[in-house]
């Protein structure tokens, strides 16, 4: 069932050949953005300029489509002095972030210089407090960005067509700027962010650094990041921590990121909906890679490109079949919040690739490769649809069983073979109950 190694490598080489050009385009657009942010900082020193955009560039290069680049603008605030309290339900706005930890940031009297960014709020004890108001911060940042654009145009620092701010709208929690980089236009979503140290980074009880370089999870989650969820509430942001984890994966041996590149290419050219919309996003695939890194911690799992891709595929298929993709840092959150029919229509496309990759391993423009004619496997589907609440079906042994179903490889490790044997006994009891 496997395509030849040459076919896998040829497809990857085409994908990788565009990366140098994408880096150049990003850097050209980044220069324009940094020029604007420098003017913003000059007018309002509380908005800081973060010149270390290597992670954003790294993320942009991996992505095959033209997704927006999130740019977090740090605030000069003593974040450790802020107190975090859950927002009242009425304060979550219409952004849908209420269930994702929307909170208010209370400003104690020791925090000075942010009075014009605060509003009066109330805590659970009905105590009147001053809260850092995200709506006021966003409004001020938007005004300064518009002013910076005008100044740069007057000084001929911007050429006609370099930048467009026409997508800036009222009550948005992100400030989109369209910036020309080379011959393409890149969208930057500018967002103010408050950072504060976490005494106990939230690792949710997982075995620390399993599959990652030692200390990676601790470093990536050492800071808590808060971005606007509405005009009244903030929400935790995992944008930068996830990019740090992705960067750490790149230091490990094996074609892990190459696997992500191939699946991202498939997502952008063959796994889209007929109307061109995405049921699956690049951010979803990044989360799949992080889970695969933890679930398959042995370097032996990542020795070749085909086997590496299949380790991402079995995790992705499991998530699509159950319509649940847990956030890597907050597993209680399901990242599949879209239309369930889209996920249902996406599953057969991904399974078709798993059974017959040779049909899809090619670079093309135009209509996607059709998955018609590839017979679905009911036994595989039954395995994938086992209840997600059972922890036994979200561990290495379970995904080893899935890999063996796809006939990808034979497991050599005695401990893992023993774990598979125990799980197969359990599966014989559980699967008939699901039919």
Say whether both 339 and 308 belong to one domain. yes
Residue predicted with more confidence, 107 or 186 = 186
Provide the domain count of the chain: 2
Predicted confidence at residue 360, as pLDDT, reads 82
**CATH number, domain with residue 279:** 1.10.1410
Residues in the chain: 435
Say whether both 176 and 273 belong to one domain. no
Say whether both 294 and 188 belong to one domain. no
**Could you tell me the pTM of the whole model?**
0.90
Enter the tokens of residue 60. Answer: 């942009």
What interhelical angle do 305-322 and 5-17 show, nearest 10? 80
The CA distances from residue 40 to 134, 138, 172, 326, 398, in Å, are 17, 13, 19, 37, 52
Quick check: 205 and 260 in contact, CB under 8 A? no
Considering Cα of 88, then 93, then 98, then 100, what sign does the dihedral take?
negative
Say whether both 231 and 288 belong to one domain. no
| Non-local CB neighbours of 56 within 8 Å, separated by 6+ positions | 26, 30, 69, 70, 71, 243
* 291 located within any domain: yes
pLDDT of 72 over the 60 cut: yes
Say whether both 264 and 179 belong to one domain. no
Say whether both 292 and 232 belong to one domain. no
Work out the average pLDDT over 361-387. Answer: 73
Say whether both 232 and 270 belong to one domain. no
* 1 located within any domain: no
Its domain, for residue 357, covers 252-434
Work out the average pLDDT over 137-159. Answer: 94
Say whether both 296 and 232 belong to one domain. no
Q: How confident is the model at residue 329 (pLDDT cuts 50, 70, 90)?
A: very high
Say whether both 138 and 256 belong to one domain. no
Predicted confidence at residue 335, as pLDDT, reads 94
Say whether both 131 and 184 belong to one domain. yes
Residue 18: other Cβ atoms inside 10 A: 13
Determine which of 18-22, 134-138, 144-148, 316-320 has the lowest per-residue pLDDT on average.
18-22
How far does CA 142 lie from the centroid of its chain? Answer: 25
Predicted confidence at residue 327, as pLDDT, reads 95
Chain position carrying tokens 């938007």: 142
Say whether both 174 and 276 belong to one domain. no
What percentage of the chain has pLDDT greater than the value 90? 53
Predicted confidence at residue 95, as pLDDT, reads 39
pLDDT of 90 over the 60 cut: no
SS in 3 state form for 232-288? CCEEECCHHHHHHHHHHHCCCCCCHHHHHHHHHHHHHHCCCCCCCCCCCCHHHHHHH
* 145 located within any domain: yes
């Amino acid at each position: 069932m496997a395509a030849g190694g040459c076919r896998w490598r040829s497809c990857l080489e085409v994908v990788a050949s565009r990366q140098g050009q994408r880096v150049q385009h990003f850097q050209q657009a980044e220069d324009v953005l940094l020029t604007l942010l420098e003017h913003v900082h000059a007018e309002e020193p509380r908005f800081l300029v973060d010149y270390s955009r290597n992670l954003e560039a790294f993320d942009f290069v991996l992505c095959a489509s033209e997704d927006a680049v999130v740019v977090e603008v740090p605030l000069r605030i003593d974040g450790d002095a802020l107190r975090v309290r859950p927002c009242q339900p009425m304060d979550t706005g219409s952004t849908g972030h209420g269930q994702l930890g929307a909170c208010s940031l209370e400003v104690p009297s020791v925090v000075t210089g942010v009075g014009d960014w605060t509003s009066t709020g109330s805590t659970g004890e009905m105590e009147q407090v001053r809260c850092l108001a995200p709506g006021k911060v966003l409004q001020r940042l938007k005004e300064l960005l518009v002013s910076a654009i005008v100044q740069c145009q007057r000084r001929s620092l911007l050429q006609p067509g370099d930048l467009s701010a026409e997508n800036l709208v009222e009550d948005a929690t992100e400030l989109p700027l369209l910036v020309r980089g080379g011959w393409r236009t890149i969208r930057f979503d500018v967002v103010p962010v408050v950072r504060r140290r976490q005494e106990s980074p939230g690792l949710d009880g997982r075995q620390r650094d399993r599959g990652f370089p030692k200390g990676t999870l601790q470093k990536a989650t050492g800071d808590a990041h808060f971005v606007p969820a509405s005009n009244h509430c903030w929400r935790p942001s995992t944008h930068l921590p996830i990019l740090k984890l992705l960067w750490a994966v790149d230091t490990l041996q094996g074609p892990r990121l190459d696997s992500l590149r191939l699946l991202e290419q498939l997502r952008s050219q063959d796994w889209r909906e007929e109307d061109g919309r995405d049921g699956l996003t690049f951010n979803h695939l990044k989360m799949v890679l992080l889970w695969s890194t933890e679930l398959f911690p042995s370097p032996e799992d990542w020795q070749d490109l085909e086997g590496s891709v299949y380790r991402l595929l079995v995790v992705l298929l499991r998530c699509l079949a159950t319509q649940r993709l847990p956030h890597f840092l907050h597993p209680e959150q399901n990242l599949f919040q879209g239309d369930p029919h889209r996920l249902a229509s996406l599953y057969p496309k991904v399974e078709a690739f798993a059974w017959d990759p040779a049909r899809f391993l090619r670079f093309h423009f135009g209509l996607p490769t059709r998955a018609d004619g590839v017979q679905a496997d009911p036994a595989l589907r039954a395995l994938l649809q086992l209840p997600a609440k059972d922890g036994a079906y979200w561990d290495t042994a379970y995904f080893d069983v899935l890999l063996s179903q796809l006939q990808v490889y034979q497991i050599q490790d005695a401990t893992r073979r023993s774990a598979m044997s125990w799980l197969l006994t359990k599966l014989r009891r559980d699967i008939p109950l699901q039919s």
